[in-house]
Amino acid sequence: MSDVTSISTFTNLRRSLLARTHAALGARYVAALPPHLTDSDTPIIADYGDPELETTAATLAGLCDVSMFPRWGCKGRGTPDWLKSQSWRLPDKVNHAEEQKDGNIVARLSNDECLLMGDLHFQSARIAELEVLYQQQLPERVYALPRADSHACFVLCGEFSANVMSKICAVDLRSHTFSNGHVAQTSVARVNAITVRQDINDTLAFYILSDLSSSEYLWECLLDALLEFNGCPVGIDALHALGNNT
Amino acid sequence: MSNERLSAPYGALIDRTKAVSFTHEDKTFKGFKGDTVASALAANGEFLLSRSFKYHRPRGALSMAGQDANTLMQINKDGNALADRVPISEGMSVQGQNYIGSLKGDVGRAFGLFSKFLPVGFYYKAFFKPVGMWERWAPLFRKITGLGDIDQQHEPAYFDKQFRFYDVVVVGAGPAGLSAALKAAETGAEVLLIDENPALGGSLLYSRLYDTKPDEHEDHAAELLAQLLEKVTLSHTISVMSDAVCNAWYSDNWLAVIQAQRLFKVRAKEVIMCVGSMEQLAIFRNNDLPGVMMSSAALRMLKLYAIAPGKRAVVLTGNTEGYACALELADAGVEVACLVDMRSEATNEAMAKAVTNRGIKTVFKQTVFEARAGSNKNHLGHVSLREIVAQGRCADIDDSVIDCDLLCMAVGYMPTYQLICQAGGTLAYNDESDQFSLSNLPESFQIAGSVNGHWAIDDVIADGKFAAQTAMARWVEGLTTDCAPPRENEYSTSDTTNYTWPIFPHPKGKEFVDLDEDLQIADIVNATLDGFEHVQLVKRYSTCGMGPSQGRHSALPTARLVARSVGKTVSETGVTTARPPFAPERLAHNAGRSFYPARRSAMHYRHIEAGAQMLQAGDWYRPAYYGLPAERELSINAEVTNVRTNVGVVDVSTLGGLEVRGADAAEFLNRFYTFGFVKQPIGRARYALLCNEAGVVIDDGVACRLSEQHYYVTATTGGVGRVFQQMLKWNAQWCLDVDIANVTTAWCGVNIAGPNARKVLEKLAPDIALDQESFPYMGVREGMVAGIPARLLRVGFVGELGYEIHAPQHAGEALWDALLDAGNSVNIKPFGIEAQRILRLEKGHIIIGQDTDAMSNPMEVQMTWALGRKKPFFIGARTINELEKTPLERVLVGFCVNDASAPIPLESHLVLDGEHMIGRVTSCNFSPTLKKAIGLAYVPPNLASPGATVWIKSSGGVQVQAEVVSLPFYDPELLRQEV
C-alpha cells in the first residue's frame, strides 16, 4: 500500500476536475511520487479510506480515476515510424493496444494515430521524456496531441466490468468477444469515448477515455452503473493489489 | 374467504406453503405465493374483476394470459394493471375500474341501455353542434370513461436499460422454444431464451397432449416439460429470462425486452420466434359475461393455479381443443354439462370416444346463441343453444337452455404474429382451411411451433429444432443437419383449425367483437356501411383493435365481418398493422436512466463558489452572471461596468480550439475561411469567418499563427464540432498536407479584459512583454502565466484591452485563482456570459447563430471586410460573388431606443412597417455604458442608414421607436482595445 497523504488538491497547478468529488468520497493521496509526476504537481489517489473494501470491489466492479496519470498522443503519417524509432512497440492493427515492458500502454487509434498511457505504477518517465523529445525534434508529419488534458481516463475493473459497460455502451464488450488489447472508439453514456481493454493481471479491466470536460458526468454514470454489482470507487492501491502477482 | 384449491399436481405456479393476504374492494382475501391477482380472486370465488370501458359491463378473466383488457385493475397505485399477470403480494390493494358506486352494483351499467343511441363513430357525429357544445360534453365523457386512476403523488422509481448480445435469441419458452434453444446450444451458440411467464414451458404447463394419448390421465406434458427443462438447466450456453416480454423487433435483430424495471436492448445474430398462438373468441350475445372464457384460460386456472373455474361447465368448440378441455375439466371434478360442437361431426375419433366414455354429452351443429347471467347478475348462469342452419345463422328458437357457471370457448387460434410482422413478415389467411400462415421472414429470423402452423407436439418440437438448425447453419461451417422439417399435413389440422364462422348475431345485439371498446357485430358492419370499407379505416372509425389488447381477439372476427360486408374474402381483407409495443409498457421503461451529457470547465466550481448562476449552453455549463437571481440586472450591469472601467475575467474554456498543422496549413485556412491567411505573420491572430458553399455565414473565430506550419484556430462554442467536421471533409477533398485536431477540451481559456488587464497580467507573466508595441492588438504569444504554459491572444471581443489566455485544462482552476489573486489589489471581478453579451453588443460584434440565421450572408451582416477579394478561392466565394450582383433584401444594423421609458425589445421581436413585418431583432439589451437600450436587427436596405427610424413590436404589443445607428455603439475609434 502507498504512503498516503491528505494534501490539498486545490493548490496544485494541475488539479483534477474531479477533485471535489474525490474529496467528498474521502480520497487519500499517494504521498511519495517519482520526480516526473511531482514536477508536474500531480495528485494521485491512493484510496478512499477503506483499502480492504476497495481491494474487494476492484475484483467485482471498481472504478479508478487515473486522469492525472501521464498520457500523450501523436498522429500524422510520420507517427508510426517515429514512435518505433523511440523503441515503442506499436500494435500491428488499428483499434488494438499493446502494453510495453515498462507498463506503459500504446493504443493504435488509426494507422497514423497513437495514444500513450502511463503505467499504473507511475514509475516510468518515458512518456514525459517522449514529450520533451518531440518538442526538441519536431519530427516531420508527427503532430502532438495533448491527451493528458483533452481526456479523462478511468479504469473500470473487475469481473462485472463488462456488465457495467453494457448499461451505458452499445458495443459488446464481453470478455470473450472483446479480447484483451482491443480498442473501441464509441459512445459511452452518450459521450464519445475510447475504450481500451487492458486486463490487470487476470482481472478484466477497461480504460475509458472521454472528453475531460465530461469527466464528472461520466464518473457519475459509471458509478451509477456499477452499484448493482457491489462496486465502488477505488484508489490506485486497489488496482495495484490486483497486479500484485506481477 | 375460502381460497379453495384443487390438490396437487394442479397448481404448478403456486406455493401452498406461503399464504399471501391482500385486499380487493376493501375486503381481505388470501392467496398463495405465485398467484396472480385474478387467480387469487378466482380461488376466492371472485370472478368479477372490473367494468368495461363504454357500457360498464361486468368483466372477468378471459385469457388468463394477460392478452385481454378484461383484467385491467387498479393495483396499489398502478392503474390498468393486468390482474392475470400481476402476482399478488402481501398487503396489496386491488380495486376494479370503471364503476360508479360499487363494482358489483355499478350504476354506470345503465349506459348499456342507451347503446342503440351510441352507434359506431357516434363521437364523430354528435356533440359538436351547436358550436361550443363539445366543450360542455367533454368533461362528462372524461369523467365516465377512461381507465384507471393516475397516482398524482407518484414517486419516481429507478428504471434503466442494458444492452445484451447473443448468438441466438429464442422468444417463447414453450416446447418449440425450448427445443430450438437446446438445438442451437448444441453448436456452442450463446442462446437467450425469453418468456413472458414466470415459468418456462408454455402450453406444456397446462395443455393436454391429446393427439398421442387422449384417454390417459397421466400427465405426459409435464413429463416432457421436465425433460426439456432439465436439459436447459444443464446447458452452459443458454441464458433464461422469464417474466420478460419481448416488446418489439427492430432492424438487425434489435429486440426490446422488458423485465422488471429494466429495458434490455438485445442484439441477436439469429432470432427464433416461438411465440405460440392466441386463442380466439366466439361471438354471441353476452359473450363477455364473467364465467365465459377461453378454453386455454380454464386450463390455466386448473393447471397453473389449482382453481376449478366453475362448478358446471359447457364447452363450445369448433375443433378438438374443446374435447381436450372437457376432459381436463371432468378430470378436475368440474361437471361438464354439454360439449357443444359447432361442426357436424367430430374429426378426432379417439377424443370423441374419450369424451363419451367420460359421460359427457356432446351435441353437434349447434352453438351457444346467448349467455345469460344467473341470480348473480355479474356472472354466467345459463346458456341457450341453437342449431346452426347456415354460416353465422341460427334457428329461430332455442334448442335448449343449460344452467352453467362456466362456458369455455375453443373455436380456434390466431398466431401471435405481432413481433413477426414488425420484422417484415407477412400474415396470410387461407380461406379454404381457415388457417393462418406467416411468410416473407427476414434473414436471420425463424419461426417455429404453433405460430408456424404446427400443433402436434412431435411436430412442434421438430419445428423448433429445425429452426435452430437453419439459423445456426449460417454461422457454423459444416454443421451437421440432422433435423428434418416437421411432417407436412401428417397430423390432422382439423384438431386445431379455426372454426370457419363462430359469429352469431343476435337481434338484441351485445355480441361483442372487441371487448376493450365494447364493440358489437353491428358496430363493425355499420362502419363498413358508413363507407369505411378498408379494415384499417374500420379500425380508426370504430376504434376496434385500438384498446389495450390491440386487437388480439378482435382482429380475426373484424376481418371476417368486414370481408362479408364488403364482399371480399378474409384473406383479401387482412388485419391491421401490429406496431410496437407488443404488450403495455411503462413510459418509465423508455424514459428510465436516460443520459444527458454535461460539460464543465476546470473553473466550474470556482464559478459556483463565487455565486454564479449557471446556464447550460449545449452540453456546457457556463456562468451567466454572479449574484442572486433577484439582483440579476444589477449584477450584470456591475460586471459590465467593471470591465469597462477596471478589469474582469471571464471563463471562455468552451470556445472551440483546433490545431491546424502541416506544410499546407496556411493554404488550407486560406481556402477554408473567407480571409487571407497565406501571408499572415507568425505571432499574429486574424479574424476567421466561415461560410458554407451557399455563402451563408456559419461560424467565426480567430486563427493564430504559432509557427510557419502551425495555426491554432478558435471556433464558437456550439459550432466547433461542425467546423472540425467541415475541416476534415475539405481536407480529404483537397488532399493537402495538413493535419487537423480538435483540442477544444485540452485548452481552457480565460479572457482578462479591461483597462487594468495588463497591470494584472504583468504580475503573472514576467517573461512576456505585454506592452502595446511588443504585443499589439491581434498579437499571439506563447509563454508562462503563473507558472502555467499558456497561449495568449490579444483579441477584443468585449472591446477593451484584453488577453485571452489559453492553458492546459487541468491547470484551469490554478490559472483562474492566480488571475483573481493577482487582480485582488485592483478589485478584479469575474463576469459571466450575460455581461459578455452586452459588452460585445456595445462593440457591435455579432454572435453567429444568434445574429445570423440559415440565410445570412456576409453582405447582410455587413462583414464584406472579412472577405479575401484577392485570393482565388474560399468556400462559398462563388455564391457570394453571385449574391453581390443582386440587391440586398435585408441588412443587419445597429439600433438604439432613445425613449428610456419604452420596454426593451427582445430577441425575435418584429420590426414593423405598419402592419407588415419587415425585419426582426436579433440582439437587444440595456447598455450600462451607454445608458440606453441597444440592439441589432435585420431591416430592409432602405432603412439601414444611420438616422433611419424603425418600429419594433415589443412585449405586450407595445410599438417601440428605434433609431438606426452606425456600429459599433461604443469606442468606434478602437481607442480602448488598442492601447
Q: What is the 3 state secondary structure string of A198-213?
A: CCECCECEEEEEEEHH
Please return the burial class of B116, using the count of CB atoms within 10 Å of its CB with bins 0-12, 13-18 and 19+. exposed
B251 strand-pairing partners: none
At residue B373 the predicted structure's pLDDT band, cuts being 50, 70 and 90, is very high
CB B933 within 8 A of CB B927: yes
**Chain A residues near residue B620 by CB distance under 8 angstroms:** 213
List, for residues B673-701, the tens digit of each pLDDT value.
999 999 999 999 999 999 999 999 999 99
Q: Would the pLDDT of B488 be above 70?
A: no
With contacts defined as CB-CB under 8 Å, which chain A residues touch B746?
A: 145-147, 149-150, 212
Read off the pLDDT of each residue in B131-137 and give the average, rounded to a whole number: 84
Residues A12 and A41 sit within 8 Å (Cβ to Cβ): yes
Closest Cβ–Cβ partner in B163, B746, B786 for A150 = B746
Nearest to B605 among A20, A76, A141 (CB): A20
Q: How would residue A4 be classed by pLDDT, with cut points 50, 70 and 90?
A: confident
What type of residue is B25? Answer: E
Kindly state the average pLDDT of the residues B392-399: 93
Residues from chain B that touch A151, judged by Cβ atoms under 8 A, are 745
Q: Do residues B308 and B482 make contact, with C-beta atoms less than 8 angstroms apart?
A: no
Q: What is the dihedral of CA B934, B940, B943, B945, to 10 degrees?
A: 80
pLDDT value at residue B217:
57
Kindly list the residues of chain A whose beta carbon comes within 8 Å of any beta carbon in chain B. Answer: 10, 12-17, 20, 68, 75-76, 141, 143, 145-151, 166-170, 172, 174, 177, 189-191, 211-214, 216-217, 221, 224
Count of other CB atoms within 10 angstroms of residue A172: 17
CA of B653 to nearest chain A CA: how many angstroms apart? 10
Tell if the CB–CB gap between A16 and B810 is shorter than 8 Å. yes
State the nearest Cα–Cα gap between A103 and chain B, in angstroms: 24
Most B CBs within 10 Å, among A8, A10, A13, to test the B interface: A13
Element (H, E) at A149: helix A147-150
Q: How far is B163 from chain A (nearest CA, A)?
A: 5
SS3 label, residue B785: strand
User: Number of CB pairs < 8 Å for A and B?
Assistant: 105
Does residue B438 contact residue B413 with C-beta atoms inside 8 Å? no
Q: How near does any CA of chain B get to the CA of A136, in Å?
A: 15
∠ CA A7-A13-A15, rounded to 5°: 65
Contact B599 A213 (CB under 8 A): yes
User: A170 vs B163: CB contact, 8 Å cut-off?
Assistant: yes
Q: Of B558-567, B572-581, B908-917, which gets the smallest average pLDDT?
A: B572-581
Give contacts of A13 with chain B, Cβ < 8 Å: 786-788, 811, 814
CB contact under 8 A, B605 and A211: no
Query: Rounded mean pLDDT of B592-609?
Result: 96
Picking from A178, A186, A213 by the largest number of B CB atoms within 10 A of its own CB, the best residue to mutate is A213
Find the closest chain A residue to B707 by CA distance: A138
Instruction: Say which residue, A211 or A10, is predicted with more confidence.
Output: A211
CA B661 to chain A, closest CA, distance in angstroms equals 7
Let me know: does B318 contact B435? Beta carbons within 8 Å.
Answer: no
Q: CA–CA separation, B571 vs B554, rounded Å?
A: 16
How far apart are the CA of A211 and the nearest CA of chain B, in angstroms? 7
pLDDT confidence tier of residue A246, bands split at 50, 70 and 90: very low
What does the pLDDT read at residue A7? 63
CB contact under 8 A, A211 and B745: yes
Q: Is the pLDDT of residue B491 over 50?
A: no
Instruction: Give the pLDDT confidence score for residue B121 in this predicted structure.
Output: 79
By three-state DSSP, how is residue B602 classified? coil
pLDDT average, residue stretch B631-642: 97
* Cβ-Cβ contacts under 8 Å, A145 against chain B: 741, 743, 746
Option in A13, A151, A190 nearest B787 (CB): A13
Distance CA B131, CA B126 (A): 11
Q: Which of A14, A172, A213 sits opposite B745 (nearest CB)?
A: A213
CA–CA gap between residue B559 and residue B554 (Å, rounded): 8
Closest residue in A to B595 (Cα) is: A189
Helix (H, G, I), strand (E, B) or coil at B632: helix
d(CA B362, CA B370): 18
Q: Hey, what's the torsion of the CAs at B457, B460, B461, B464, to 10 degrees?
A: -170
Indicate whether B110 pLDDT > 90.
no
Task: Say what the pLDDT of residue A31 is.
Answer: 84
Enumerate residues 6+ apart whose C-beta is below 8 A from B249: B255, B271, B419, B420, B422, B423, B580
| B384 SS3 class | strand
**Closest approach of A244 to chain B, Cα-based (Å):** 31
pLDDT score recorded for residue B1: 45
> Is the torsion defined by CA of B327, B330, B334, B340 positive or negative?
positive
- Chain A partners within 8 Å of B595 (Cβ): 168, 189-190, 221
- Inter-chain contact A213–B163, Cβ cutoff 8 Å? no
Mutate to test the interface with B, among A67, A74, A149 (most CBs of B within 10 A): A149
Distance from CA of A245 to the nearest CA of B (A): 31
Q: Which residues from chain B sit within 8 angstroms of residue A113, using beta carbons?
A: none
Q: How far off is chain A from B162, nearest CA to CA, in Å?
A: 4
Contact B811 A13 (CB under 8 A): yes
Identify the DSSP state of B108.
G
Contact B741 A214 (CB under 8 A): no
Give the distance from residue B598's alpha carbon to the nearest chain A alpha carbon, in angstroms: 6
Closest partner residue to B814 (CB to CB) among A13, A17, A170 is A13
The CA distances from residue A8 to A33, B165, B932, in Å, are: 15, 45, 47
Higher pLDDT, B115 or A69: A69
- Asked if pLDDT for residue B493 goes beyond 70, the answer is no
- N residues, chain B: 979
Question: Does pLDDT of B490 surpass 50?
Answer: no
What's the mean pLDDT in A31-40?
82
Read off the pLDDT band of B149 (50, 70, 90): confident
Cα–Cα distance measured from residue B930 to residue B928, given in angstroms and rounded to the nearest whole number = 6
Inter-chain contact B267–A75, Cβ cutoff 8 Å? no
Check CB contact under 8 Å for A148 and B662.
Answer: no
Tens of pLDDT, residues B731-746: 999 999 999 999 999 9
